[in-house]
A and B are shown apart, each in its own frame.
Chain A
Amino acid sequence: MNAAEWHAACDRRLAELGVDPREARRLADDSAAEALASGLHPAELFGPATAYATSLASAARQPLAAPLARARGPVVLRLAGVTKRYRRREVLRGVDLVLRGGEVAAVVGANGSGKSTLLGVCAGSVKASGGTVERAARIGYAPQQHGVAPYLTPDEHFRLFGAVHGMGARKAVATGTRLAAGLGWRPRDTVAGKLSGGTQQKLNVVLGELDRPDLILLDEPYQGFDQDSYLDLWAQVYAWRDAGAGVLVVTHLLHDLDKVDHVLELQGSEDR
């Protein structure tokens, strides 16, 4: 790969990662100029073009607009003594949680402990067997599986979900594209079934936040993400929180827990 090809590959990769095309061109030009000034081939100075572009994109990406001051808002989710049984099997027992706008709660627990069931109960797609569930009307919901349609492109997803939220097609696509850039992804005209698992998950997450909801429910949203995308996701979570939304995240990555306001640990029925 000669210097010009390295430059083009860097530029292309930056654009793929959601960096504004003009900014991508400027970053690639700066890198090429720096290599030229040092008298070295860019690959010798910076390494492979795609890897260097990934680092540049992470550094260049700005968090989505959100107020700096962090204030707790009204309650967006209140669970009191929530239980869920499937016939004789008790999946959830006595779950309590109060989540306000501007807070993040993590739901943790072993496989089969009812994390996804709890998210379904909060979303309203699963009926609780007992207890009370109160939640804000405007929610975003990213389920763990089957959150996207394999035969639709990202733009078609944005238009479909936008229509549900009463958004025009143009606004929905523009909003979806902007939110995708925050996760280091530029949507293309490819059906979701042909996207990688990580990119499908990004689409899933973007659809969950399309309408700036008051409560965002995410079920292990980082599956298939690389390290940068994972960090971008948490940057997004904090941006939503700082913008006043309550966020409930199902996770099994324990090192995330020192950054959240509430940790809800579920125990599977076999552990009790």
Chain B
Amino acid sequence: MTLTIAATSLREIGRRRAALLLVIALPLAFYAARADQQGQAIRFLALGVGWAVATLSLFSHVNSRHLDRRLTVVGASPSALLIGRQAALAATGLAMAAGYFGLIALTQDVERLWAVAVLLVTTVLIAAPLGAVVSLVLPRELEGALALLAVMATQMLADPEGTLAKALPLWSTRELAAYAVDPVGGEYFERGLLHFAVVVVLCSAAAWTAAVVRLRPQALPQPAP
């Protein structure tokens, strides 16, 4: 069932062509705006990928909420629905990340190119469940999009060394970007991966809990004949 849900979700995402184009354009616009400064360009590109995937995830989960509730009423598992939809979103995000990795490889002379791949993959893997969490807590598109805007804009503006930035979900993206681009030590990579691991576990657990709470139907006893 999970595979069918993932395949179905991929088709749904693929058919929202205008939304997909905008999602792809967002990181590109960030990248182009800072193309003259390598470090900033890659940082902003990665944050743009995270923002785009989280927004896609938010809209995908909000739009499928009614159908998912109907499916759980007739026997679908909320976990399978969440995992299937997340798999489709992660696949879409990773495909986009692969394209942008190619763009960076072609247009930039990066100190540690392999770390850019790690940076983009970890960003996508955080963004997909992050969008799900927001959609399940704020089940309307506008409110959810504004919440993501607040989180991402703060992430971009906050001092990376400050507590606020570290409490936000994509701090790992900034650390891993620094490791990929700047001549810094391995501690940036380790801190980034550790933060990624904590955030991805927290987001996934929160998304799963919220999905089960919101989608699980009432357990009704069978009537005696």
Which A residues have a C-beta under 8 Å from some C-beta of B? 74-78, 123-128, 133-137, 139-141, 143, 145-149, 151-152, 156, 159-161, 163-165, 169, 191, 211, 213
Q: Is A136 a contact of B222 with CB atoms below 8 Å?
A: yes
Chain B residues within 8 Å of A148, by CB: 67
Chain B residues within 8 Å of A124, by CB: 73, 217-220
Please name 11 further chain A to chain B contacts, defined as beta carbons within 8 Å, in addition to the given A164-B74, A165-B74, A211-B74, sorted by A numbering. Answer: A77-B223, A124-B217, A124-B218, A125-B69, A145-B66, A147-B66, A156-B11, A160-B4, A163-B1, A164-B75, A213-B74
Cβ-closest chain B residue relative to A123? B73
Chain A residues within 8 Å of B73, by CB: 123-125, 139, 141
Sort A-B residue pairs by CB-CB distance and give the 6 closest, nearest first: A146-B66, A124-B217, A74-B225, A134-B223, A163-B4, A124-B218
25 contacts between A and B (CB under 8 A): A74-B223, A75-B223, A75-B224, A76-B223, A77-B223, A124-B217, A125-B70, A127-B218, A128-B218, A134-B222, A136-B222, A141-B70, A143-B66, A146-B67, A149-B8, A149-B63, A149-B64, A152-B8, A152-B12, A159-B8, A163-B1, A163-B4, A163-B5, A164-B1, A164-B74
B71 within 8 Å of A by Cβ? yes
Q: Is B222 a contact of A137 with CB atoms below 8 Å?
A: yes
The answer for the CA separation of A140 and B75 in the assembled complex, in Å, is 10
Q: Which of B1, B15, B63, B70 has the most CB of A within 10 A?
A: B70
Which B residues have a C-beta under 8 Å from some C-beta of A? 1, 4-5, 8, 11-12, 15-16, 63-64, 66-67, 69-71, 73-76, 217-225
Chain A residues within 8 Å of B225, by CB: 74-75
Query: Contacting A161 at CB < 8 Å: which of B15, B16, B74, B219?
Result: B74
